[in-house]
Chains A and B, each alone.
Chain A
Amino acid sequence: MRALDLDYMLGLVPVILGYVPLTLLMAAAGMVCALILASLLAVERVAKVPVLDWFVVLFISFFRGTPLLVQLFLFYYGLPQALSFLTKIDGVTATIMGLTLHFAAYMAESIRAAIAGVDRSQWEAAQSIGMTQGQMMLRIILPQAARIAAPTLVNYFIDMVKGTSLAFTLGVTEMMGAAQKEAAGSFLYFEAYLVVAMVYWVIVEALSQGQKRLETYLNKAFVR
């Protein structure tokens, strides 16, 4: 048993904080791409386009059914061997791609359920004024589904922020990678990983505060 080296930890904080923008960049880019992909997948699941529906079900099944780490290795180390044009992909891009595909599969199911939760009368009113399917989805159904799905989607985003730490396994120096390098020099592994854990914790707590504001905003049309 030894005392924590607090001075070392305090000195490490700014170093780790320097990598926060990269973590947030990967998570935000992954979230935006995953939301778009998940919305498309969800709309397809509701519309059930023949043949395409089969592929979407397969896609969701695969990316929910295998670990994120395995998927990242498959794309980053595996695919370039099979498809030579993929060799130039860097670790950050591969992480964003992996997060996108993995979380889109989960979010598609949440959004599909939320779309199904929008009252039937909203669909009929939109149809009755002569809206096209696309106009109805974009202007009436998805905005209302967003409110239903928001709490779940923010949870996935929090998972995604933490999931960016796996980029370390693809050789990306992000928060986890930086801590690893520092610890390898100082041998103070506990201190280094504790600092990383604390920084993640603070980021996630800040996001949880944002979640409350988002839900208040999305609920503004529904409070009496």
Chain B
Amino acid sequence: MIDISGLTKHFGGTPVLDGIDLQIADGERVVVIGPSGTGKSTLLRCLNFLDVPQAGQITIGDVTVDAAKARKSDILALRRRTAMVFQNYALFANKTAKQNIMEALVTVHKRPVEEAEKRAMAVLAETGLADKGDSFPSALSGGQQQRVGIGRAMALEAELMLFDEPTSALDPEWVGEVLDLMRAVAERKQTMLIVTHEMQFAREIADRVIFMDGGKIVESGSPSEIFGAPKDARLQKFLKRVGE
């Protein structure tokens, strides 16, 4: 169970998140859509404190953190219950694909190396990269790198997986394989919070779609409600602009 209430973030004087309230059930797949610069990515990045929110409360599983007085240990606890997939992949450049997947298991979660290696090989097989375990990121295509990025997050079996525009930096030819892998992850009832511009994908995969604008959640509902019968004028305008 994920419970976010009153999450607030401003850069300088400009509010980016304006009191976000959001509950996500276990296994639920929530897709966040909206115009650029409306706080979608910031929402994700505040949940693991890559951006530091000024106010609000975040509960992920058995950890509850009050943003205003978060300690180092609180932040680490949140980060160890989430796994993030980045827009630019952000694979560890000095580690092979397999080592990228093993790193958090061994260093952070103190699993035995043999177990982590087994897990990494299994994850690589699921991502279709069983033969790329010893390749460094620089030797992989964008699509392959992002699949490793997703594999790195999958291996953690985190309570919440965060996807920050995972296909936005990819050449069009690689988008399909990454979305296919995300579908496979979704099928396992993994709790997912996804920021994406892939509307067709959102429609197909989401249990719930959230439309954000101006740092607020403007409208929220099932894909058929959001795409089929949008109520708010800003959502209608946004959908028209992206061709939905």
Interface of A is mostly: helix
Q: Is the CB of A130 within 8 A of B108?
A: yes
Q: How far is the CA of A143 from the CA of B136 in the complex (A)?
A: 14
CB–CB A125/B136 < 8 A: no
Q: Are B76 and A122 in contact (CB-based, < 8 A)?
A: no
Q: Determine the chain B residues whose CB is within 8 A of the CB of A88 once the complex forms.
A: none
Q: What mask results when residues 17 to 47 of chain A are scored 1 for a CB within 8 Å of chain B, else 0?
A: 0000000000000000000000000000000
**B138 nearest CB neighbor, chain A only:** A222
Interface of B is mostly: loop
Q: Hey, which chain B residues are within 8 Å of A130, CB to CB?
A: 76, 79-80, 104, 108
Quick one: which of A175-224 are within 8 Å of B by CB?
A: 220-224
Cβ-defined contact, B138 with A223, below 8 A: yes
Q: Is B76 within 8 A of A132, CB to CB?
A: yes
Q: How close is A114's CB to chain B, nearest CB, in angstroms?
A: 13
Q: Does B93 contact A129, Cβ atoms closer than 8 Å?
A: no
A166 to chain B, nearest CB (A): 37
In the complex with contacts A126-B92, A140-B92, A224-B139 CB distance below 8 A: yes
Asked if A124 and B50 make an inter-chain contact with CB atoms under 8 angstroms apart, the answer reads yes
**Which residues of the partner chain A approach B82 to less than 8 Å between Cβ atoms?**
128
Name the residue of chain B whose CB is nearest to the CB of A218: B94
Contact A131 to B83, CB < 8 A, known contacts A221-B94, A223-B138, A224-B138: no
Quick check: is B191 within 8 A (CB to CB) of the other chain?
A: no
Complex: how many Å from CA A185 to CA B93? 59
B101 to chain A, nearest CB (A): 11
Q: Once bound together, how far apart are the Cα atoms of A147 and B136, in whole Å?
A: 15
Interface residues of A in 102-145 (CB under 8 A from B): 119, 121-122, 124-132, 135, 139-140, 143-144
Q: Which 8 A-B pairs have the closest CB atoms?
A: A130-B79, A130-B80, A129-B104, A121-B90, A125-B90, A221-B136, A128-B84, A143-B94
30 examples of A-B residue contacts, CB within 8 angstroms:
A119-B93, A121-B88, A121-B89, A122-B92, A124-B50, A125-B91, A125-B92, A127-B48, A127-B49, A127-B50, A128-B48, A128-B79, A128-B82, A128-B83, A128-B84, A129-B80, A129-B83, A129-B108, A130-B79, A130-B80, A130-B104, A135-B107, A135-B108, A140-B92, A140-B94, A220-B136, A221-B93, A221-B96, A222-B138, A223-B138
**Additional pairs, 11, CB under 8 Å, beyond known A125-B92, A129-B83, A129-B104:** A124-B90, A128-B83, A129-B80, A130-B76, A130-B79, A131-B107, A132-B76, A135-B107, A139-B103, A143-B94, A221-B94
